[in-house]
């Protein structure tokens, strides 16, 4: 199985993907010198365009396979917001607590189906400026009135997963990885790699 370079300098994100790849034979590393590369402008209107654009951008001149992700929370009652702006919903600094505060304020007074939401993840894989594939998946839930749990990150404390009766932030990492949008999308990428000619 090949080595994958993650188009990011986020060690936490790398560890999450490594956990998902455990036992597959795939090795993952952060792209060397990522912070010194010209930045990709993540201003596309969709998660798929951002993920694909990042993978193509950072794979040019990189050794081997480069993958990128873009993820977001979609709330239909808010017209799909936060969506592609999930990490910057309350401002460009990407503060999770402020993002949650703004989300809960936007949903104040809304009940039932108005609080339905889904997490979406799109992964893109490229090599030397050529796109090899794009995969996406989602997980459905609803937005709680207040935060719960001590694990996870982003909107996990207010994202309630009905089948388990828990917020994502109440799930141990292994359980969340099994269920999450990112885990589901990454398993599709791994399946592609099983037959990838190299």
Give the per-residue pLDDT at 92.
Answer: 85
Cα Rg, the chain, nearest whole Å: 17
DSSP per residue over 114-166, as a string? Answer: GGEEEEEEEEEEEETTEEEEEEEEEEEEEE-SS---SSS-TTGGGEEETTTTE
Q: Are 84 and 72 in contact (CB under 8 A)?
A: yes
Sorting pLDDT into bands at 50, 70 and 90, what band is 130? Answer: very high
Reported as a single tens digit per residue, the pLDDT across 57-93 is 999 988 899 999 999 999 999 999 999 999 899 998 7
Mean pLDDT of 189-197: 89
Distance CA 27, CA 198 (A): 14
Q: How many CB atoms lie within 10 A of CB 100?
A: 22
Give the per-residue pLDDT at 1.
Answer: 63
Reported as a single tens digit per residue, the pLDDT across 75-84 is 999 999 999 9
Rama region for 147: left / alpha / beta (φ>0; ψ in -120 to 50; rest): beta
Length of the chain: 198
Q: Is residue 35 annotated as part of the catalytic site, yes or no?
A: no
Contacts of 66 (CB under 8 A, 6+ apart): 4, 5, 6, 7, 31, 55, 58, 59, 125, 126, 127
Give the per-residue pLDDT at 160.
Answer: 98
**What's the fold here for domain 3-194?**
Maf protein (3.90.950)
Q: How far out from the chain centre does Cα 93 lie?
A: 18
Residue of 70, 95, 137, 145 marked catalytic:
70
Domain ranges of the chain: 3-194
Distance CA 52, CA 134 (A): 7
Reported as a single tens digit per residue, the pLDDT across 20-48 is 999 999 999 999 888 899 999 888 999 99
**Residue 94 reports pLDDT greater than 90:** no
Give the per-residue pLDDT at 197.
Answer: 73
**Residue 163 reports pLDDT greater than 70:** yes
**Residue 2 reports pLDDT greater than 80:** no
Q: How many CB atoms lie within 10 A of CB 80?
A: 12
């Amino acid at each position: 199985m090949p080595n994958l370079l993650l188009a990011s300098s986020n060690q936490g994100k790398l560890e999450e993907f490594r956990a998902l790849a455990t036992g597959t034979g795939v090795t993952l590393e952060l792209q060397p010198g990522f912070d010194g590369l010209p930045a990709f402008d993540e201003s596309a209107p969709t998660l798929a365009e951002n993920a694909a654009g990042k993978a193509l951008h950072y794979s040019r001149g990189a050794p081997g396979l480069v993958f990128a992700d873009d993820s977001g929370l979609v709330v239909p009652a808010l017209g799909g917001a936060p969506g592609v702006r999930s990490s910057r919903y309350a401002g460009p600094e990407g503060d999770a607590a402020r993002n949650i505060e703004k989300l809960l304020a936007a949903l104040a007074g809304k009940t039932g189906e108005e609080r339905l939401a889904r997490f979406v993840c799109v992964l893109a894989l490229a090599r030397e400026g050529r796109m090899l594939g794009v995969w996406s998946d989602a997980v459905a839930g609803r937005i709680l009135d207040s935060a719960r749990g001590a694990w996870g990150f982003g909107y996990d404390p207010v994202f309630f997963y009905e089948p388990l009766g828990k917020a994502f932030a109440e799930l141990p990492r292994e359980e969340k990885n099994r269920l999450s949008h990112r885990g589901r999308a990454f398993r599709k990428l791994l399946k592609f790699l099983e037959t990838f000619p190299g």
